[in-house]
Every structure is written in structure tokens, then in C-alpha cells.
Structure 1
Amino acid sequence: MDFDFSDEQLQLRDAVQRWAERGYPFERRRAIAAAGGFDAGVWRELTDLGLPGLTVPEVHGGMGLGPVEAMVVHEALGAALLLEPLAHAHLASTVLQRHASAAAQAAWLPRLAAGELVVLAHVEAQARHRWDRCHTEARHDGQGGARLYGVKHVVPAGDHAAAWLVPAVHEGTLALWWVERGAPGVRMQGYPLQDGSRGADLVLDGAPATLVTRAGEAALAWLMDAGIALLAAEAVGVMDRTLALTVQYLQTRKQFGVPIGSFQALRHRVADMKMQLELARSMAYYATLKLGAPEPQRRQALARAKVQLGQSMRYVGQQAVQLHGGIGVTDEYLVGHCFKRLTQLELTFGDTLHHLGEVAARMTDAAGVTA
């Protein structure tokens, strides 16, 4: 199997890396985090690059690219520790293409391509990473429409979104709905998250909603798996940056008159970090390539990928902080922010223990071992 990227994919990656190096340095990121965790100017710059419309079909004004290109982009932006939730724009695009009607796609996809932020709002209290545990309700409004009642938590940059994709139960069936910003019955409470990004609680008290699909379970299963694939790519980018910072520090920090990178015990720890990074990279590729598999295989593959990514993120982040010593936990130095970002990613779309349970639940009686 050929894992080499095409020339077009490499050019896309290089273009995104150039923007990140020039337009999103660490100082700008720190300022955005201090100001609340989302910057409209950055989002406009991403829109100028065409990135929110990366996976939107060309007929609707997008670039018409696929999951491998999205993986390449998110790995490059992961190294920059991007705070803005670009992944949710890609998730919204793909789920609308898979599940929305042609009329709905014609109405909504051009808005995504033009840079309107649409995010998934699915987290509820006491759900414990189970997306199918949904207490938000959709009720008939008596006029042929529906209104939503419920609360969603930790919605990425939710108070800056133009619309939200909201799972809600309608007549005993989980469905996916589109809710517009500014609709009556919508309240938002934004707050910063521990990695510097922004979250919000979305309160729906009779908010009018438009149905995306009644096949909410299938749509949410796809969103979780596609989200894990994008998260995996981003995590690889963060770990790449974390390892590079650690190697640079070991080469410059001196003790007893020599760089501490010359100490064999520390070199072994860096080698273990590199091993974990490459395990994560291979599983990130595996996750993206498995998005086209039948649902049972896809769900098992993405759970496996999230388990390995979680283990790698924890190891690389912890080792980097320890090898940096006291400077590793200061706000002025980048590696601590890398660790926070890796911690946040490990908890997103289900943590490692949750997905370890998912892997175990999908094992056959023989656990993959044949006589």
C-alpha cells in the first residue's frame, strides 16, 4: 500500500505550514487565548485560504477535497496549536453531504464554504462520552416545524458560531437538527477551556430547528468517527512540535558543562517519545483510511486509533514536561501549552478508557486469535 502523499497534498500541507509560521506564531496564540480563545481575524484568514470549505463540493463553492487532504491540513495546524475549531467546519460539511437533502445541502454548504462557522453541539451532562445518551427533545410546534428543549455543554466556540448541529430525540428516535444563531429560545454562555480554546453551553428553550436527518444514530456515529480521525491528525502535529521542542531544549540546556542531551538516560526517553509519536502517526493514517469502511469495521478501527492516540499523547506530553523541568509548566513557554492541548484532545470524542471499552466490546469470542 502506498502511503506517500501526492504532490498536490504536499503543496497543500506546505501552504498551511507557511501560513501557520507567519500568521499564527506562539505570541499571537497566547494573546488569543488570553482574550477568550477565538479570534475572528484568524477565522477570516483561514477562510481566505479556503480551509473551511476544504471538503465542501466545488459545485457549492468549496475545494471538493477528501479526508486525506483534511488529515494533512489538520496535522499542519496541530503543530501550530490552532485554537479555532476548523475540524467542526469539516465535520459539518461531511455529515450534510452524507445525510442532508439536496435542498438542504444547496442552502447550507455554500455558507460553510464562505466561512460561516457551524459546530456540533452534542455533549450532555452525565453522558460520559456516550453520544447516544441524549436528553434534548424535539417537539412539534403545531405549525409543521419543531422546537428543541435541552442543554448542550462544551460546544467548541459555540458563542461565535453561525449555527449548530444538535442531536435531539423526536418521537423516540434520535435525529440531527440545524439551529440558527439568533433564533428565539437560544441562550449561550461562553467560557475559556483549559488549553486556551473556547467552549460554551447552549441552552435550547423552545428553539426552532430544521431537520437534517431522522437517522440521527448513523449521523452521530459518523460524526464521532470522522472527528476522531481529524483529532488524530491534529494530535500528531502537536506531538511533532512537542518532540522538536524537547530535542532542542536538550541540545541547548547544559549541566556539568555539557548539553543534557548527551546523557544516555535522557536520550532513551526521547527515543521512547519518538516511538510513541510514530505509533500515533501510523494509527492516524489508519483512522483516516478506515473512514470508508463499513460501519462496524469503521467504528472498531476508530476506537483502536483513539486508544493508541490517547496513550501516545499522554506519554509524549508528560515526558516533554518532565524533561524540560520547571520551565515546562510555565505559561511563557510553548511546551506547557502543547501538554494542555494534548490533554484536551485526549478527552475529546471519548477518552482512552472509553474507547478501550469500545474495542473490548467489539472483540470476537476468539479475540482475533485463530486455532
Structure 2
Amino acid sequence: MDFALTDEQRMLEETLTRLVADQVSPEQRRTLLNAAGTETSALWRTFAELGILHMPFSEDVGGLGGDGTDLMIIMQALGRGLVPEPYLAGVLLPGKLLALTASSTQQQRWLTPLLEGEHQLALAWQEHHARYDAFAVSTQAIQRNGQWLLTGRKDVVMNLKAAATTLVTARVESGKLGLFIVPAGTAGSTMHHYRTMDDQSAGDLTLENVTLALDNCLSEDVSNALSEVLAIGRAALCAEAIGAMETACDQTLAYIKERKQFGLPLAAFQALQHRMVDMHLHLEQSRSMAILAATSLTLPPHERDYKIAAAKAYCGESARFIAEQAIQLHGAMGMTDECYVSNYAKHLVMFDHYLGDSDYHLETVSERLEVA
């Protein structure tokens, strides 16, 4: 199979790599993190102007029709620079669900300004008892007097603070899984905001008899669309992890070449050379799995989910391994914020938990093997 990029894809990669290098230095990243949730950043507006926000969406909804490879290029570049902007949580996941389920009026209201960079959204699908199972949902939605009433709680909602509206999954009276638009500030909804270990903005959303108009329901059976969107998100995460692992490996190699012990660079010691080789082996094997995930998005759902689960599980284990090795080879300073590799290590550890950890996805793989 030919994995060579097209001229347009190489141009996308070069443009985004330069942009991230220019605008996401360690100091600039701290500024972006401190400003998160207050207003749209200049970098986000640049993403919109360059079509980065439009790229993964079909032309039917105003996108550029990018495929899995285009998405992989974008996410790798964001991972290399440890870009804190919520591309996955604020655009890709909720935007894809809108594209699959929303009416033209709903898309015009929420999706079009999303792709133009005018606002961000969030997707609330996790619940505290469910352990990454998007369909183990206790949040309830019932119709009363021509309105919807939502009651329940969603945990670890990424980008909740900055979202103009949140897409919420809830069990409807038919027993199927519905999807609802809950704008920020809706009466009966309360939010608890915090940051994850890798400084990403998240929050818990509590709904107590939240009243919504009937047209705030995007779907009364969103299961297939949600499965597709989560698969896209997991493939995107694998690509982002590759970018972060690349930079963690590069920074670690540069450090052991510079740092001296007993009058010699650390890189001169064979034991440390072996550890660097192991890091690169994990990186390259993960890269192959990320390519598998990106190229599996158009497969039938059962095969798609199996291959992406395998990729997410392997990349999660590799991400933890590279994070641990990077910290150990840097020594005690690798634990400090001043040593920038620590930020990559925290992100790589948390990567394993976003959209399901290695254990969760290994269960999916093992179930498929048992059936086979």
C-alpha cells in the first residue's frame, strides 16, 4: 500500500507545522492555557482562516471533504506542538455528530459558526459508573407538555467551560439513546469546572429537570452516529499521540547527547542507547497502528471498531512507556514544569484515558477474537 502524501497533504503538513512552531512555544502555550474559556484565541481564528476547522467535514455541510489521512496530518502536528486548543473536543466530536444528526436549520445555527471559528462546542457522553461505555447511560429524557425534560449527570466533559452549547446523550422513553442540544446557561444545568492532569479544560455537568424545546433533540436514536464519531475521535487521538511521542523522543535524545556524566555524554552509555532504541521502536510501531486507525474509518462498523480499538490500545501502552522513559532519562528535572518534556509526559499518560484506556479497548479486541 502506498502511504505517500499527496502534494496538497504535504502542503497542509508544512503549513500547520510552521504555524504551530511559530505560535505555540512553551511560553505561548501557557498563555493559551491561562486564557482558555474566556475568548477565541488568535490561533483558533487562524485555524478557521486556513480551513483547518473545515478539513475533516464533508462538503455537504460546508467542510473541505478531508479523509482520515488529512485528519491524521492535522492531529500529528497538534500533538508535536502540544497545542492546547480543543480541536478534538471542541470541534471534531460535537461537529461530526451535528453533521450526522442535525437538520439543516440546526446545522446553520450550530455547525456553520463552529467551522467558521465563531464558537466552540462540547460533547457530554461519559458517566461516572460507565467506565468508558458510551451506551451505559442513566441520564433520562422524557417528553412532557410539548417539551423535553433532562435529568442526570455527565462527567469529564472536555471543553465544557468554553462551549457555547453541549451535546448531551440521554436515554429516551423508548429505551434508545437520544442526543440533545443544551446551550450554556440553560436553567437547571450546573457545571463544575477543573483541569485534567495535562492541563486540559474539563468539567462535570449536572442536569436537574432541564427543560428543552422539542427541536433541541438532534436524534432519538443516536447509537450508530455516536459509534462512528467516537471511532473518528479515537483515530484522531492516536495520530495526536504520535506527534507528542515524536517530540518526547527528540527532546530526550537531545538531552542525553548534551548531559554529561563521568566526563562523557549520557548518549555514550550503551544501556541508555538501548532505552532510546526501545522508545523509537514503540513510536514506529504506534505510527503503523495510527495509520491503520486512520485508514479504517470507512470500513464497516464492526471491522472499523475492532481495528481502531487495537490501535488505541497499542498506542496507549506505547504512550505510557515513552512518557516513563523520557522522565527517567531526564532524571529528577524531568518531573519539573521547567523541563518541557514533563508536559509531554503528562499528556501521553492522559492520552491513554481519553475515549477509553488500553484495558477497555483490549476487551473489545479480545471479544472479537473469541467470536472469531
Is TM > 0.5 for Structure 1 vs Structure 2? yes
Equivalent position amino acid for 1:98 in 2? L
The equivalent residue for 1:363 is: 369
Q: Is the 8 A contact 1:34 1:196 kept in 2?
A: no
Q: Is the 8 A contact 2:121 2:159 kept in 1?
A: no
The equivalent residue for 1:52 is: 53
Per-residue deviation at 1:231?
0.4
Question: What per-residue deviation string (whole Å, max 9, x for no partner) do you get for residues 121-178 of structure 1?
Answer: 11111111111111111111312x3132111111112011011111100011111222
- The within-5 A match list for 1:178-257 is 178-207=181-210, 208=212, 210-257=216-263
- In 2, the alpha carbon distance for the partners of 1:219 and 1:13 equals 29
Question: What per-residue deviation string (whole Å, max 9, x for no partner) do you get for residues 287-333 of structure 1?
Answer: 01111111110111111111111111011111111111111111111
Secondary structure class of the residue paired with 1:347: coil
Match among 290, 294, 297 for residue 303 of structure 2: 297
Per-residue deviation at 1:59?
5.5
Match among 155, 171, 176 for residue 173 of structure 1: 176
Q: Is the 8 A contact 1:136 1:148 kept in 2?
A: yes
Secondary structure class of the residue paired with 1:158: coil
The equivalent residue for 1:70 is: 71
Q: Is the 8 A contact 2:121 2:162 kept in 1?
A: no
Report the identity percentage.
36
The equivalent residue for 2:281 is: 275
- In 1, the alpha carbon distance for the partners of 2:178 and 2:60 equals 27
Equivalent position amino acid for 2:101 in 1? H
Per-residue deviation at 1:277?
0.3
- The within-5 A match list for 1:1-371 is 1-33=1-33, 40-41=40-41, 42-58=43-59, 60-88=61-89, 89-115=91-117, 116-143=119-146, 145-171=147-173, 172-207=175-210, 208=212, 210-365=216-371
Q: Which moved more, 1:203-212 or 1:98-107?
A: 98-107
Secondary structure class of the residue paired with 2:250: helix
Q: Is the 8 A contact 1:84 1:157 kept in 2?
A: no
Q: Is the 8 A contact 1:54 1:64 kept in 2?
A: yes
Q: 1:319 to 1:224 in 2, by over 3 A?
A: same
Q: Structure 1 length as normaliser, TM-score?
A: 0.93
Per-residue deviation at 1:66?
2.6
Q: Which moved more, 1:179-188 or 1:28-37?
A: 28-37
Q: Is the 8 A contact 2:37 2:162 kept in 1?
A: no
Q: 1:2 to 1:21 in 2, by over 3 A?
A: same
Can you give the 5+ residue segments of structure 1 that lack an aligned partner in the other structure? none
Q: Structure 2 length as normaliser, TM-score?
A: 0.93
Secondary structure class of the residue paired with 2:55: coil
- In 2, the alpha carbon distance for the partners of 1:65 and 1:151 equals 34
- In 2, the alpha carbon distance for the partners of 1:185 and 1:343 equals 35
- In 2, the alpha carbon distance for the partners of 1:114 and 1:204 equals 29
Q: 1:203 to 1:44 in 2, by over 3 A?
A: farther
Q: 1:345 to 1:37 in 2, by over 3 A?
A: farther
Q: Which moved more, 1:338-347 or 1:172-181?
A: 172-181
- In 2, the alpha carbon distance for the partners of 1:262 and 1:39 equals 48
Question: What per-residue deviation string (whole Å, max 9, x for no partner) do you get for residues 188-232 of structure 1?
Answer: 221121101111111222332612222222122112211100100
Q: Which moved more, 1:33-42 or 1:99-108?
A: 33-42
